[in-house]
Chains A and B, each alone.
Chain A
Amino acid sequence: MSREAMEMPPKGGFSFDLCKRNDMLVKKGLKEPSFLKTGTTIVGLIFKDGVILGADTRATEGPIVADKNCEKIHYMAPNIYCCGAGTAADTEAVTDMVSSQLKLHRYHTGRESRVVTALSLLKSHLFSYQGYVSAALVLGGVDVTGPHLHTIYPHGSTDTLPFATMGSGSLAAMAVFESKYREGLTRDEGVKLVSEAICSGIFNDLGSGSNVDICVITKGAKEYLRNHMLPNPRTYISEKGYSFSKKTEVLRTKITPLREMVEVIEGGDAMEE
């Protein structure tokens, strides 16, 4: 291996050493690969006591559903959660990175994180990559200054809103919000409205599907309702399943028993000098 490969973990950030080779392959006529996207419907709204975030759970790779039950509501801080749409690797990496930065900041300041801190960290990272880090986020949380809800676009612009939707199913969800949202909703009304908006995305948008995830954040408490609604159960399973009476033809079999881990207990005789 070359000298650069022997260096122990690089200090973080992106490494561009394969770019030249990849460009050469593309010029030769090979198509670039497609990445895992989260087609998605993600929403957030502010209710009487805090913020409710909602997301669907489908991850697509081109036209194929790669994951029927993925998690799109990412943890940022105990009082801040973020929904992500766009390229799955980018949303996961950017939310993980800012989450660790927030934790270090909490240790440094000794205070609960504020939503605007997360917002500034995210927008400056996304802007510096000029939209190439394709992550569209809905950030929500409750801190000492009250409940906050923001949307962040891949190029780094942000909006602060009482209710927000992002992703390919955003128009379907926004239609529900625009007709039924009002200020001062109770928790149950808010959860019901968010579920309706996500369901609207699930049933009308092809890039969103499967189940509804909800996260309710209030002052001092949060409730992560994973798979709050399962409107698409699998009903066509045959109870017998498949059974293969004719065995698969095997050319060679090799069985390796796994070693038993033996505990060595110290405390034998001390060495005589």
Chain B
Amino acid sequence: MSIFEYNGCALVAMVGKNCFAIASDRRLGVQLQTIATDFQKIYKIHEKLFIGLSGLATDAQTLYQRLVFRHKLYELREERDMKPETFASLVSALLYEKRFGPYFCQPVIAGLGDEDKPFICTMDSIGAKELAKDFVVAGTASESLYGACESMFKPDMEPEELFETISQALLSSVDRDCLSGWGGHVYVVTPTEVTERILKGRMD
């Protein structure tokens, strides 16, 4: 079994019209045994920037703690929030530093940048950035997610439609993956508000 399949995860982020959505499943497992069904995988860095971390859960938590540390220092020095592009470069540098003994984590970063333009990106475990204009996926269910998002995605969706699309893509993909599921956690972020929803999914 691969190290990435130890805990199980599904993460997806999509871009809409002046908004973005980021969604994850809620399972935490130890190989085939489920330990928790309310595990948080998407973390808030600041109001308009979220990062989802898939892969080994312990590395995800450690990496998140280090990122929060660096972001807080940045806020103290610059007296403003970090832009998503800058944050992506920071994550990439932190991951590449451990090139020969990496964190077993694949981050998905989503945020609203200058003039509230949505930004999403993902990386592999050593920091190779992959910027996309439509959607990014990560985790054990990534192959199904690629398929679901390719067909369901439409450009310039409004927040309500974006929420439906990302939820359907997530739920249908995790149904085909044993290691992720047990519900969904979706954040839809527009320039004026953040809507957090817990989805009802198959509990198997």
Contacts and interface: CB of A to CB of B under 8 A. Distances in A.
Interface of A: 1, 5, 8-10, 13-22, 25, 29-33, 35-36, 59, 61, 64, 66-67, 70, 87-90, 92-93, 132-133, 241-242, 244, 247-259
A249 B125 contact: no
Contacts of A13: 97
Interface string B5-37: 010000000000000000000000000000000
A242 B1 contact: no
Given A255-B196, A257-B192, A258-B194, 8 more contacts: A16-B98, A22-B104, A33-B104, A89-B92, A241-B152, A242-B168, A248-B167, A258-B48
Size band of the interface chain B makes with A:
35 or more
Given A14-B99, A35-B128, A67-B130, A249 B199 contact: yes
A36 B138 CA distance: 12
Contacts of B70: 9
A241 B152 CA distance: 7
B193 A92 contact: no
A255 B193 contact: yes
Contacts of A255: 193-196
B129 A64 contact: no
Contact of B128 (A9, A10, A21, A92): A92
A59 B2 contact: no
Nearest to B6: A30
Contacts of B99: 14, 89-90, 93, 133
A-B residue pairs, 3 tightest by C-beta: A19-B101, A88-B128, A89-B128
A64 B101 CA distance: 24
A133 B96 CA distance: 11
What's the dominant secondary structure at chain B's contact region?
mixed
Contacts, number: 145
Contact of A35 (B69, B125, B193, B200): B125
Nearest to A68: B132
Given A30-B2, A244-B164, A249-B199, A15 B98 contact: yes
Given A251-B198, A258-B191, A19 B100 contact: yes
A25 B104 CA distance: 11
Interface of B: 1-4, 6, 47-48, 55, 65-66, 69-70, 73, 92, 95-104, 123-130, 132, 142-143, 146, 151-152, 154, 163-165, 167-168, 171, 183, 191-200
Contacts of A64: 142-143, 146
B164 A33 contact: no
Given A242-B165, A250-B197, A258-B47, A93 B192 contact: no
Given A18-B102, A254-B195, A258-B191, A248 B130 contact: no
B47 to A, nearest CB: 5
A219 to B, nearest CB: 32
Given A64-B142, A92-B129, A241-B154, A33 B102 contact: yes
Best-surrounded residue of B124, B142, B152 (most CB of chain A within 10 A):
B124
Contact of A89 (B4, B48, B127, B164): B127
Nearest to B157: A241
Contacts of A244: 164-165, 168
B199 A250 contact: yes
Contact of A15 (B97, B129, B151): B97
